[in-house]
Amino acid sequence: MLCRVTITLSIFPALAFGREIPVQDRNERAVLRIEHDWLRALVVRDRVALDRILADDFFIRT
């Protein structure tokens, strides 16, 4: 679990430091917000949020 959080924060440093990623377009902000919500849902294992964000036929293979 700690490894996943570390990897997530190292890939997305804006999440680690709470800084807003500078974007110029509303669509880009929407995509970034969805990505942030998706990563948060993965880290805290929020199944309801994942069901809302992901397509019905999406699956992760480990």
Q: What is the pLDDT of residue 47?
A: 93
Q: What is the pLDDT of residue 61?
A: 82
Q: What is the pLDDT of residue 9?
A: 52
Q: What is the pLDDT of residue 10?
A: 57
- Distance between CA atoms of residues 24 and 60, nearest Å: 31
Domain spans of the chain, in order of start: 21-62
pLDDT in tens, the chain (62 residues): 555 555 555 555 555 566 665 546 778 888 889 999 999 999 999 999 999 998 888 887 87
